[in-house]
C-alpha cells in the first residue's frame, strides 16, 4: 500500500504487515493462523483485507491510528478457499471444486461454476472483470458473477498461473509464458522458459520464478510495439493497442487510429475480405473514387492513375473481381445515400439504437470504434510505463493524409501523392463530381453483377454521367437502360429517336413495336408537347389505335395536354381515330369547349353522310325515323341524335348550316334537325317537323315533355307552341284540332289558358273542351283552397308569437339594494345595466356570458 | 422441419407521405386508428408475433417517414429486410405513380440477393373514401403484374378492411424469403471440380 507505506505478506501461515521502507514486520495478524491466501483491496478510502483460512474467511479493515489492520468480520465456509479476490462489495472465492461470489456484509453466497479440476485461480483485470481459471480457459466474469465476454481466453495448455500487465494477460505454462492481448485475446508473444514456478506482475513489470532463478520482464514501450505490429501487418492488434495506449494526445490518437485502420482496410481488401474492407472504407470515409479505382473499367484511366495506395493493390480478375464487385454494389449505395443525406434525423438514429438494444445487432456506422474510456481506467494511469521516446509521432505522415472539402456527412480522406496532390484534389472538391463518380460506377458495377438493378438506379434520381454511361450501355446493347438514362437526364429527343429506330429494326423483344415509345410519350406532359406531337406521328400512322393511348392514358402528364392541339394533330395524322379521341375528350374528360363539341357533332354527321352514300335511299322513301333505321345508319344516326340531345355545348346554328351545305334531301335527318332547331329556341319549327314532317304526335309531345321548364322563358310556352302548330299551321296545311284538344286536356296545367283560348278556332264545339275546362277549374279551385289553408295557418302562428311576446314582456325581476350580480357578486346599482337569465339569475350586463341562454 | 428456431422477420413499409403507413401498422399491431394525421419523423418499428404455417414468427414492422425519401435513413434500415410493403392512396394518383421510385430506391439500398424475386406487397389504402377514388383496381393490378406478380390488397386502415389478410400475406412471403436465404446452398453442378477425363482409346497395335 503506497500511501500507508506498508506491505502485506503471507508467510508461515500467517498474514504479516511489514513496513515498506525497511521491510520490518510491524504486526503478525494472529487471527490468520492457517491462512492459505489473501486479497488486499486498497482502491477504496479504507483498505480492506480478506484472508482465507481452513474453514473461514476473515475480513480486516485498515485502522490508520493503529497503523495496522483491525478485525472486521468472519464468515464460515464449507470447505477451504484456495483463491480470493475482491469484487466490489463481494469477494470472489475459488474453492477446490467451484467458484463462488460471497457478499461480505450479508454473507450470501452465489455459486458461479465448477473449477473443472485444476487449481482455482482468480485474477483481477480492468473494467471490473475477474479472470477465473477453468481447465485451460480463463473466463471473464463481472462483479455481478455473470460472464462478461462470450469468448473465454484459451491457453495452449493448463496454466500454472496467470497475471495481468497492461494491456496483456500472461499465462505461465509448463515450458513458456504466453502473452495474450486483453482485448483481442490473440497470442501476441510466447517466451520460452524452463521449469517455471511462479508468475506475478506489478505495474508494467512481470516477475517469473523458475526453480533456480527469478526474471523480470519489461515490456517495450507501446509506441514501439504498435509500430512493430503495423510492420507485421497485425493491424487489429495495433488498433487495440493504439486505442488503449496511455500518454497519446486525443487528436494524435485519432489520426494514428485512422491511419492504421486505413491500412487494415486496404489489407483486408488485398486478402479478399471485400465486404469487411468496404465496411471499413465507409466508416473511415475513404474517398470512394479511390476505392472505385481499385476496379478495372469503372473510372477513366486518367482518374485511376491519380491514387497512391499503401500496398501494391492486386489487379482484380475473374471470380475475385466478381466477389469484389458484389461488395462494391453494397458499398456504393451507402456512399450514395450518405452524400445525399442532408442531416441525419435524430429519431432515425434513436430507432436504430432501439433496434441495436433489442437485437444486439450492430447497425450503426461506428461498430469498430470502442469507447476510448479503456485507456482512462485507474489501473493503467500509473507513471510506471512512461515512454521516453514517442515514435507515434512518426507513424503518421500528415502529408500522406489529405482532408478533402467537407462533405455533408463529414470529411473524406484520401491518399494522394504528396508531390502533386493538386490534380486529384481539385477534381473532387465538389460533391457533385463525387456523386457522379459514385453513381456512374454503381451503374457499371450493376451491369456486371446485378443487371436488373441498373434499371432501378436509372429510374430514380441519379447523378450518372451521361456520356460514360451511354458508352457502356451501347457496348452492352442495353437499350432499355439507355432509354431510362436519357429519360432521367431529360434527353427525351435522344430517347425517342432511339426508340423509333429500335421499333423499326427489331421485330421481337421488349424494345420492338410502338409500345415503348407510347409508354414513353405518355409520361412527358405538356412541357414537351412539341416532342409528343413530333414523335407520335409515326405511331399514329402505323398503329393509330394504340397511339391513341399517348393522349388518353390516365395519368397527370396526359391530363396536362391541351386537347384542341391534340385534336388537330390527330385529325391530320390519323383521322380514323379522331372520333375516338373526341369522344374521350367529351365523355371522359367532360370538356366544355364548344369547338370540340362541334367537332364531335360534325364527325358524327360525317359518319351519317358516309353511311347514306353507302346505302342510298329510294326516291320515294320519304322521311325515315331514327328508330326505323337499320344497319350502320341506325348506329350512326343514333349516335348523332343522342349526342345532340345530351350535349349542351355545341352550337346548333353551325351544325344546321353544315347540314344545309350538305344539300341532303329536305326530309333527311328530320329528327336531328328538330333537336337543333329546338336548341336554337325555334320550338315551333321543330314541332312542325314532328307534327307534319314525321306525322308523329307522340314525338311532338315527347319533345314538349323534354324541353318544358316553367322557369325558362324560352321553354315555358312549348306546349302552347305545339297547340299553335296544331291549330294555326303554316299555309297550305290544314289545322289539326283533334290532337290539339287532346293536348289541351292532358297538359292543361302547363298551358297558359287565356292564350290557348285565343288560339282555338271560333267554331270549336264547346263539348270537346269540356274536359279541358273541367281540369282547369279543378286545378284553379284547388290552388285557391290550398292558399286559404296556408293563410289561416300563418295567422294562427302569428297569434301564438304575439301571445309569447306579451308573456315575455310581463316578466320582471326586482333589483333591491342587496341584489348581487351572479358573476362578480357585487351589488347591482341603479345606474348599471343588467341582464336576466331564463332562470331569473341577474348579473351585470358586462358580466353576462356570451351564450345568452346558459346561466353562468 | 429441423429448424424450429425463433424467426424474426424484418418488414419495411414505404410510400408517399400521408398514404397511411403508420395507420396501417397501428391498425394491424394495436387495432387502433386515429384520423388525426401526424407525420412520422425518421422511422420507428413495432413488433408482433404471428403464427404462419404452424411457425411462430416475430414480425418487426418498420414504419418510415414518407416525406424524405431515404436520404435521412440510410442503408442500415433496409439491409436484411425480408419483405417490403409499398403503400399508396387509391384517391391520389401521384402516390401510385411514385410506387416505382419507392421500389427502385428500396432495391438499391437494400441490395437483396435476387432483386427480381424479392417479395414486395402493394397496399392500396383508404378505400373507405370510395367516391373520391382515382386509381382503379385494374390499374393497380396491372402494375403489380408487370413488376413480377406482386400481391395486391385494397385496404382501409380506418375501417380495418383487409389489413389482417394483407399482413398475413406479408408474413408468409417474408418467411418464404427467409427460408430461401437459409438454405444458402450453391446451385448444384455449378462448379465441376473433377470433370471425368475423356476416355482414351488404348490402342494395342
Closest residue on chain A to B98 (Cα): A460
Parallel, antiparallel, or unpaired for β B120-125 and B152-154? Answer: parallel
Parallel, antiparallel, or unpaired for β A176-181 and B7-15? Answer: unpaired
Taking a C-beta distance cutoff of 8 angstroms, is the pair A588, A623 a contact? no
Rama region for A767: left / alpha / beta (φ>0; ψ in -120 to 50; rest): alpha
Higher-pLDDT residue of A81 and B191 is A81
Taking residue A776's Cβ as centre, other Cβ atoms within 10 Å add up to 19
Contact A333 B111 (CB under 8 A): yes
Predicted local distance difference test score (pLDDT) of residue B137: 93
Instruction: State the residue for C-alpha cell 310556352.
Output: A717
Higher-pLDDT residue of A641 and A370 is A641
Contact A457 B74 (CB under 8 A): no
Among residues 457-496 of chain A, which lie with CB inside 8 Å of chain B? 457, 459-460
Of the segments A128-142, A826-840, B162-176, which one has the largest average pLDDT value?
Answer: B162-176
- Give the C-alpha distances (Å, rounded to integers) separating A116 from A77, A97, A760: 20, 7, 130
Chain B residues within 8 A of A442 when measuring between CB atoms: 108
Contact B109 A355 (CB under 8 A): no
Give the mean model confidence (pLDDT) for residues A390-405: 32
Contact A348 B104 (CB under 8 A): no
Minimal Cα–Cα distance from B48 to chain A, Å?
Answer: 14
Contact B73 A456 (CB under 8 A): no
- Of A264, A245, A404, A233, the closest CA to residue A253 belongs to A245
Convert the pLDDT of each residue in A330-380 to its tens digit: 899 888 877 776 334 444 556 667 767 776 666 554 433 333 333 333 333
Residue B205 in this model has a pLDDT that exceeds 50? no
Taking a C-beta distance cutoff of 8 angstroms, is the pair A529, A494 a contact? no
Strand-pair partners of A201: A206
> Residue A421: which pLDDT band, with cuts at 50, 70 and 90?
very low
Contacting residues for A245 by C-beta, under 8 A, at least 6 apart: A222, A223, A226, A253, A375, A392
| Cell numbers found for residue A518 | 407510347
**Pairwise CA distance, residues B159 & B156, whole Å:** 5
Q: Which of B41, B103, B109 sits opposite A347 (nearest CB)?
A: B41
CA angle A580, A583, A588 (to 5 degrees): 120
What are the backbone angles phi and psi of residue A48, rounded to the nearest 5°?
-125, 150
- Of A566, A564, A538, A537, the closest CA to residue A551 belongs to A566
Residue A650 in this model has a pLDDT that exceeds 60? yes
- Listed by start position, the domains of chain A span 766-800, 812-856
Closest residue on chain A to B106 (Cα): A456
Integer-rounded Cα radius of gyration of chain A: 52
Minimal Cα–Cα distance from A834 to chain B, Å?
Answer: 44
Minimal Cα–Cα distance from A396 to chain B, Å?
Answer: 32
Parallel, antiparallel, or unpaired for β B7-15 and A196-202? Answer: unpaired
Chain A residues within 8 A of B45 when measuring between CB atoms: 351, 354-355
Cβ of residue B46 closer than 8 Å to a chain A Cβ: no
- Burial class of A574 by CB neighbour count within 10 A (0 to 12, 13 to 18, 19+): buried
Strand-pair partners of A60: A49, A71
Chain A residues within 8 A of B93 when measuring between CB atoms: 554-556
Contact B71 A351 (CB under 8 A): no
| Cell numbers found for residue B196 | 471425368
Convert the pLDDT of each residue in A768-784 to its tens digit: 777 778 888 888 899 89
Cβ of residue A348 closer than 8 Å to a chain B Cβ: yes
Cβ of residue A452 closer than 8 Å to a chain B Cβ: yes
> Residue A813: which pLDDT band, with cuts at 50, 70 and 90?
confident
Closest residue on chain A to B112 (Cα): A330
Helices (H) and strands (E) in chain B, counts: 6, 6
Minimal Cα–Cα distance from B69 to chain A, Å?
Answer: 10
- pTM for the model stands at 0.67
Q: Which of A347, A364, A460 sits opposite B76 (nearest CB)?
A: A364
| Cell numbers found for residue A209 | 520464478
Contact B72 A330 (CB under 8 A): no
| Cell numbers found for residue A853 | 341562454
Q: Which of A333, A346, A556 sits opposite B109 (nearest CB)?
A: A333
> Residue A2: which pLDDT band, with cuts at 50, 70 and 90?
low
Higher-pLDDT residue of A541 and A203 is A541
Contact B72 A345 (CB under 8 A): yes
User: Does the ipTM surpass 0.85?
Assistant: no
Give the mean model confidence (pLDDT) for residues A147-170: 86
Minimal Cα–Cα distance from A271 to chain B, Å?
Answer: 23
Cβ of residue B176 closer than 8 Å to a chain A Cβ: no
Convert the pLDDT of each residue in B64-112 to its tens digit: 777 655 444 667 778 889 999 999 999 998 899 889 989 998 998 888 8
**Pairwise CA distance, residues A834 & B43, whole Å:** 59
Convert the pLDDT of each residue in A704-741 to its tens digit: 888 888 788 777 888 888 888 888 777 777 777 778 87
Closest residue on chain A to B60 (Cα): A355
Q: Which of A345, A450, A452 sits opposite B42 (nearest CB)?
A: A345
**Pairwise CA distance, residues A794 & A801, whole Å:** 11
What are the structural domains, with CATH classification, of chain B?
7-183 (3.40.50.300)
Among residues 80-109 of chain B, which lie with CB inside 8 Å of chain A? 93-94, 97, 100-101, 103-105, 107-109
Amino acid at each position: 500500500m503506497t500511501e500507508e507505506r506498508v506491505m502485506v505478506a503471507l508467510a508461515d501461515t500467517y498474514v504479516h504487515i511489514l513496513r515498506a521502507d525497511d521491510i520490518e514486520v510491524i504486526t503478525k495478524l494472529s487471527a490468520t493462523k492457517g491462512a492459505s491466501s489473501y486479497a488486499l483491496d486498497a482502491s477504496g478510502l479504507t483498505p480492506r483485507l480478506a484472508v482465507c483460512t481452513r474453514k473461514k474467511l476473515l475480513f480486516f479493515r485498515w485502522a490508520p491510528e493503529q497503523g495496522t489492520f483491525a478485525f472486521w468480520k468472519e464468515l464460515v465456509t464449507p470447505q477451504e478457499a484456495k483463491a480470493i479476490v475482491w469484487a466490489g462489495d463481494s469477494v470472489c472465492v475459488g474453492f477446490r471444486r467451484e467458484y463462488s461470489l460471497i457478499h461480505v456484509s450479508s454473507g450470501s453466497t452465489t455459486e458461479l461454476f465448477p473449477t473443472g479440476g485444476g487449481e482455482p485461480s482468480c485474477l483481477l483485470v480492468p473494467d471490473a472483470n475477474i479472470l477465473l481459471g477453468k481447465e485451460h480457459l480463463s473466463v471473464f466474469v463481472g462483479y455481478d458473477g455473470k460472464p462478461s465476454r462470450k469468448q473465454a481466453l484459451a491457453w495452449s495448455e493448463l496454466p500454472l498461473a496467470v497475471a495481468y500487465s497492461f494491456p496483456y494477460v500472461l499465462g505461465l505454462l509448463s515450458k513458456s509464458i504466453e502473452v495474450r492481448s486483453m482485448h483481442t485475446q490473440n497470442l501476441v508473444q510466447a517466451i520460452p522458459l524452463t521449469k517455471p514456478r511462479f508468475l506475478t506482475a506489478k505495474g508494467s513489470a512481470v516477475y517469473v520464478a523458475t526453480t533456480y532463478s527469478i526474471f523480470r520482464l519489461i515490456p517495450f514501450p507501446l509506441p514501439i510495439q504498435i509500430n512493430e505490429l503495423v510492420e507485421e501487418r497485425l493491424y487489429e492488434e495495433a488498433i487495440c493497442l493504439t486505442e488503449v495506449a496511455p500518454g497519446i494526445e486525443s487528436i494524435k490518437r485519432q489520426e494514428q487510429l485512422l491511419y492504421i485502420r486505413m491500412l487494415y482496410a486496404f489489407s483486408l481488401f488485398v486478402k479478399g475480405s471485400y465486404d469487411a474492407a468496404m465496411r471499413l472504407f465507409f466508416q473511415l470515409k475513404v474517398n470512394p473514387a479511390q476505392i472505385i479505382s481499385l476496379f478495372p473499367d469503372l473510372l477513366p484511366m486518367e482518374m485511376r492513375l491519380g491514387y497512391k495506395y499503401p500496398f501494391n493493390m492486386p489487379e482484380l480478375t475473374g471470380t475475385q473481381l466478381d466477389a469484389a464487385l458484389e461488395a462494391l454494389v453494397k458499398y456504393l449505395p451507402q456512399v450514395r445515400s450518405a452524400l445525399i443525406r442532408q442531416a441525419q434525423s435524430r429519431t432515425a438514429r434513436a430507432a436504430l439504437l432501439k433496434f441495436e438494444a433489442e437485437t444486439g445487432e450492430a447497425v450503426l456506422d461506428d461498430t469498430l470504434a470502442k469507447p476510448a474510456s479503456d485507456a482512462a481506467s485507474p489501473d493503467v494511469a500509473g507513471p510506471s510505463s512512461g515512454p521516453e521516446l514517442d515514435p507515434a509521432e512518426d507513424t503518421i505522415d500528415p502529408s500522406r493524409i489529405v482532408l478533402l472539402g467537407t462533405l455533408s456527412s463529414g470529411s473524406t480522406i484520401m491518399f494522394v501523392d504528396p508531390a502533386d496532390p493538386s490534380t486529384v484534389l481539385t477534381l473532387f472538391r465538389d460533391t457533385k463530381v463525387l456523386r457522379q463518380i459514385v453513381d456512374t460506377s454503381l451503374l457499371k458495377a450493376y451491369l456486371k453483377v446485378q443487371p436488373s438493378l441498373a434499371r432501378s438506379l436509372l429510374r430514380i434520381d441519379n447523378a450518372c454521367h451521361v456520356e460514360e454511361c451511354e458508352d457502356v450501355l451501347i457496348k452492352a446493347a442495353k437499350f432499355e437502360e439507355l432509354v431510362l438514362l436519357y429519360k432521367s437526364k431529360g434527353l427525351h429527343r435522344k430517347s425517342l429517336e432511339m426508340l423509333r429506330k429500335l421499333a423499326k429494326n427489331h421485330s421481337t423483344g421488349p424494345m420492338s413495336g410502338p409500345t415503348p415509345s407510347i409508354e414513353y410519350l405518355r409520361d412527358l406532359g405538356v412541357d414537351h408537347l412539341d416532342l409528343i406531337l413530333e414523335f407520335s406521328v409515326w405511331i399514329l400512322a402505323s398503329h393509330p389505335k394504340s397511339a391513341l393511348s399517348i393522349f388518353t392514358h390516365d395519368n397527370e402528364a396526359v391530363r396536362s395536354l391541351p386537347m384542341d392541339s391534340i385534336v388537330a394533330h390527330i385529325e391530320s395524322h390519323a383521322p380514323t381515330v379522331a372520333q375516338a379521341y373526341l369522344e374521350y375528350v367529351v365523355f371522359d374528360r367532360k370538356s366544355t369547349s364548344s369547338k370540340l363539341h362541334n367537332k364531335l357533332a360534325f364527325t358524327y354527321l360525317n359518319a351519317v353522310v358516309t353511311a347514306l352514300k353507302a346505302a342510298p335511299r329510294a326516291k320515294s322513301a320519304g322521311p325515315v325515323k331514327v328508330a326505323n333505321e337499320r344497319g350502320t345508319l341506325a348506329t350512326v344516326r343514333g349516335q348523332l341524335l343522342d349526342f345532340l340531345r345530351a350535349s349542351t355545348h355545341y352550337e346548333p346554328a353551325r351544325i344546321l348550316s353544315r347540314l344545309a351545305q350538305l344539300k341532303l334531301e329536305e326530309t333527311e335527318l328530320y329528327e336531328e334537325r328538330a333537336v337543333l332547331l329546338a336548341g336554337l329556341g325555334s320550338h315551333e319549327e321543330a314541332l312542325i317537323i314532328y307534327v307534319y314532317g314525321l306525322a308523329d304526335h307522340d314525338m311532338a309531345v315527347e319533345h314538349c315533355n323534354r324541353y318544358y321548364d316553367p322557369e325558362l322563358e324560352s321553354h315555358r310556352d312549348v306546349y302552347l307552341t305545339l297547340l299553335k302548330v296544331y291549330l294555326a299551321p303554316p299555309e297550305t296545311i290544314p289545322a289539326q284540332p283533334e290532337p290539339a284538344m287532346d293536348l289541351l286536356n292532358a297538359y292543361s296545367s302547363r298551358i297558359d289558358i287565356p292564350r290557348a283560348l285565343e288560339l282555338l278556332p271560333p267554331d270549336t264545339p264547346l263539348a270537346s273542351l269540356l274536359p279541358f275546362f273541367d281540369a282547369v277549374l279543378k286545378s284553379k279551385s284547388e290552388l285557391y283552397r290550398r292558399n286559404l289553408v296556408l293563410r289561416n295557418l300563418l295567422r294562427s302562428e302569428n297569434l301564438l308569437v304575439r301571445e309569447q311576446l306579451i308573456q315575455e314582456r310581463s316578466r320582471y325581476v326586482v333589483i333591491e339594494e342587496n341584489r348581487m350580480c351572479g358573476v362578480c357578486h357585487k351589488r347591482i346599482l341603479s345606474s348599471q345595466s343588467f341582464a336576466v337569465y331564463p332562470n331569473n339569475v341577474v348579473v351585470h350586463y358586462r358580466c353576462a356570458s356570451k351564450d345568452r341562454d346558459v346561466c353562468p | 422441419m429441423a429448424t424450429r428456431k425463433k424467426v424474426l422477420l424484418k418488414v419495411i413499409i414505404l410510400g408517399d407521405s400521408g398514404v397511411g403507413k403508420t395507420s396501417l401498422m397501428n391498425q394491424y399491431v394495436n387495432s387502433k386508428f386515429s384520423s388525426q394525421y401526424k407525420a412520422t419523423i425518421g422511422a420507428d418499428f413495432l413488433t408482433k408475433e404471428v403464427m404462419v404455417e404452424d411457425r411462430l414468427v416475430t414480425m418487426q414492422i418498420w414504419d418510415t417517414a414518407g416525406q424524405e425519401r431515404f436520404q435521412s435513413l440510410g442503408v442500415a434500415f433496409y439491409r436484411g429486410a425480408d419483405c417490403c410493403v409499398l403503400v399508396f392512396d387509391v384517391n391520389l394518383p401521384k402516390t401510385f405513380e411514385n410506387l416505382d421510385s419507392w421500389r427502385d430506391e428500396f432495391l438499391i439500398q437494400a441490395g437483396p440477393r435476387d432483386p427480381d424475386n424479392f417479395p414486395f406487397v402493394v397496399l392500396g389504402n383508404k378505400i373507405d373514401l370510395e367516391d373520391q377514388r382515382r386509381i382503379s383496381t385494374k390499374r393497380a393490378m396491372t402494375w403489380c403484374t408487370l413488376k413480377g406478380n406482386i400481391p395486391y390488397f385494397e385496404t382501409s386502415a380506418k375501417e380495418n378492411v383487409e389489413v389482417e389478410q394483407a399482413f398475413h400475406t406479408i408474413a408468409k412471403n417474408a418467411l418464404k424469403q427467409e427460408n430461401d436465404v437459409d438454405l444458402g446452398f450453391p446451385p448444384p453442378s455449378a462448379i465441376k471440380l473433377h470433370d471425368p477425363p475423356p476416355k482414351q482409346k488404348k490402342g494395342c497395335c
